[in-house]
């Protein structure tokens, strides 16, 4: 029996080409003149993100059934309180986790930006009560945590990219064996890829497979949430 070969609806290389132009022409008049091009790229990408949600949902119930609109970010920037008055983002991105882009849980994140292509996972900028619980969990279950993050399948593909304290939190000894992790202010792992990564027929299946190695980390970090 022949297996159906899936093909992505969107071409990430075409999206990046458009975003490169947007970087150079980030104003409303240019965007309005090229809105039809944007729409022709955005709609297929949203369809592919919907399929990515379905594929990740096959192995992570926190992603299963998410609405794509709740997961992806708009191209339009909120410039009311920003010194950067560019009206548009120069990237497409989305969060895959319970609650979509408003989640506080450990989740998957994909970021499509010229020169900054990333597959990510973890907890972004948790509020202090959550951060305290995460540190306490790592302290109490250090052996399990290290087993997860030192697994070559994860550590060989994703690297830590988290903001950290300069000194240990006062609750912990400065010589704690897990000091590296207890000083973190967020828990994020990143796989940076080149444009050539997306030079394939089905980037969606490829990304879903690469994100799967983050699942044990999500499961561990999400112990602190009442799920």
- Model pLDDT for residues 8-22, shown as the tens digit of each residue: 999 999 999 999 999
pLDDT value of position 1: 35
When divided into structural domains, the chain yields a total of 1
Residue keyed to tokens 């999400």 = 222
Instruction: Residue 213: give its domain's CATH number.
Output: 3.30.930
5 lies in some domain? no
Give a yes or no: residue 183 inside a domain: yes
Domain membership of residue 6 (yes or no) is: no
Q: Does the residue 2 lie in any domain? A: no
Q: Is residue 107 part of a domain?
A: yes
Neighbour count for residue 145 (Cβ, 10 Å): 18
Mean pLDDT of 175-186: 97
What are the two backbone dihedrals, phi and then psi, of residue 186, each rounded to the nearest 5 degrees? -160, 165
Across the range 206-210, mean pLDDT stands at 98
Query: What's the burial of 137, exposed, middle or buried (CB within 10 Å: 0-12/13-18/19+)?
Result: middle
Q: What is the pTM of this model?
A: 0.93
Identify whether 7 is part of a domain. Answer: no
Q: Is residue 213 part of a domain?
A: yes
Looking at the predicted structure, is the pLDDT value of residue 84 above 90?
Answer: no
Q: Is residue 119 part of a domain?
A: yes
Are residues 157 and 191 in contact, defined by beta-carbon separation less than 8 angstroms?
Answer: yes
What is the mean pLDDT of the segment spanning 168-183? 96
Range of the domain at 24: 12-224
Write the pLDDT tens digit of every residue in 105-157.
Answer: 999 999 999 999 999 999 999 999 999 999 999 999 999 999 999 999 999 99
């Amino acid at each position: 029996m022949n297996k159906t070969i899936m093909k992505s609806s969107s071409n990430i290389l075409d999206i990046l080409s458009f975003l490169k132009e947007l970087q150079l022409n980030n104003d409303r008049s240019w965007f309005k003149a090229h809105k039809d091009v944007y729409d022709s790229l955005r709609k297929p990408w949203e369809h592919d993100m919907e399929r990515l949600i379905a594929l990740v949902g096959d192995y992570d119930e926190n992603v299963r059934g998410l609405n794509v609109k709740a997961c992806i970010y708009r191209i339009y920037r909120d410039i009311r309180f920003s010194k950067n008055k560019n009206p548009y983002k120069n990237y497409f991105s989305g969060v895959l986790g319970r609650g979509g882009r408003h989640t506080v849980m450990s989740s998957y994140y994909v970021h499509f930006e010229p020169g900054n292509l990333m597959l990510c996972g973890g907890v972004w900028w948790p509020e202090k009560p959550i951060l305290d619980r995460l540190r306490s969990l790592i302290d109490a279950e250090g052996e399990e945590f290290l087993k997860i993050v030192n697994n070559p399948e994860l550590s060989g593909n994703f690297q830590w990219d988290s903001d950290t304290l300069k000194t240990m939190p006062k609750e912990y000894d400065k010589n704690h064996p897990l000091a590296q992790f207890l000083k973190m202010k967020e828990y994020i792992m990143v796989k940076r890829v080149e444009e050539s990564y997306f030079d394939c027929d089905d980037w969606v299946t490829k990304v879903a497979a690469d994100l799967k190695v983050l699942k044990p980390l999500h499961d561990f970090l999400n112990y602190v949430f009442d799920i």
